Amino acid sequence: NGLFTILGKAFAPAVDRKKGLHGYRFSFDLGDTSAKFAYGGNRDTGLLTFPGDACHQIRDWEKLVAYLRDSLNAHLTRLDLAADDFEGRHSVDDAVELYRAGLFNAGGRKPKISQRGNWLEPDGTGRTFYIGKRDSGKLLRVYEKGMQFGIPWHPWTRTEVEFHNVDRIIPWEAV
C-alpha cells in the first residue's frame, strides 16, 4: 500500500503475470508501466524493477528511495544509467580512443572489450563497443542508437553503464 501511494496511479494495479521472473516464483506487472514486482525467491527476498520508460513515470525519486531504503531495508542489486547524445558529439569511435588511451583501466589492468556490428566497413546499421564484463559487475556499452532504430548514419549515440552488486555495494545516492 505504501509503495503504490509513492509510485502513483500509473503503477496500479499490480496484475498477476501467472509466472515467475528472474528466479522468483511469482511476478506482477505494475499498472500501465513496464515496472514489475516479483517475490518467492531465495531468503524471502523480492524484486522491484523499473525499466527506463517506467522511470519517467516516477514522481518523487527521493521519497521512493527513502521508502525502499528505510522502510523496507531494500538494497540495489543492479543499476543501469544511460546518457543520450542526439548530435553524436561523443561517438563510439571516441569511446574506442578513450579505451586506447588507458582511461578505463582499473588497478592497472585493462578491462575486457568486445564489439558488435560492422567495424571493418561501417554500413549505417550501427556498431556497439563494450568495455568490461557483466560478471565483474561493471559494463559500459556505447552504441549508435539512431542506427539501431533503422536510420542509417543517424548520429544519435547512447552510452550506458550497468552496475551489479558484485564485490561492491551500489549506494542509494546513485539513484
How confident is the model over 36-85, as pLDDT tens digits? Answer: 999 998 788 999 999 989 999 999 999 999 999 999 999 999 999 999 99
pLDDT of residue 108: 81
Phi, psi of 98 (to 5 degrees): -65, -40
pLDDT of residue 1: 58
How would you classify the pairing of strands 78-85 and 138-143?
unpaired
Global pTM?
A: 0.86
Cell of 96: 574506442
What's the whole-number mean pLDDT along residues 88-98?
97
What's the whole-number mean pLDDT along residues 86-92?
97
* Contact assessment for residue 66 and residue 173, using Cβ atoms and an 8 Å cutoff: no
- Mind listing the pLDDT tens digit for each residue in 1-22? 589 999 999 999 999 999 999 9
The burial class, CB within 10 Å (0-12 / 13-18 / 19+), for 50 is buried
Q: How far is the C-alpha of 37 from the C-alpha of 89, rounded, in Å?
A: 37
> Any idea which residue has 564485490 for its cell?
167
